[in-house]
């Protein structure tokens, strides 16, 4: 699993059993994740300040 910040929003890329990637975005109001495949290109090809890869510890802290 890979973890990112998209702006200020935690996002994780999760490999499915079929080998494809699922983009899951954290919703701070519901404290849950929702799928959003429209962010896939931004996460994989994003540059600059809008996207930053983070480690699991930081991700857990941001989503706790």
Q: What is the pLDDT of residues 1-29, one digit of tens each?
A: 999 999 999 999 999 999 999 999 999 99
Per the CB < 8 A criterion, the answer to whether 4 and 51 are in contact is yes
Who wins on pLDDT, 44 or 36?
A: 36
Per-residue pLDDT at 47: 64
Rounded to an integer, the average pLDDT of 29-43 is 92
* Nearest to 13, CA basis, from 62, 5, 21: 21
- Return the C-alpha torsion angle 54, 58, 62, 64, nearest 10: 140
Indicate if the pLDDT at residue 42 is higher than 70: yes
pLDDT at residue 48, rounded to an integer: 63
Nearest to 2 by CA among 48, 38, 52: 52
């Amino acid at each position: 699993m890979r973890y990112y910040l998209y702006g200020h929003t935690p996002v994780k890329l999760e490999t499915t059993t079929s080998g494809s990637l699922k983009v899951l975005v954290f919703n701070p109001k519901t404290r849950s994740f929702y799928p959003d495949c429209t962010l896939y290109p931004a996460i994989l090809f994003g540059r600059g300040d809008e996207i930053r890869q983070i480690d699991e510890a930081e991700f857990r802290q941001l989503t706790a």
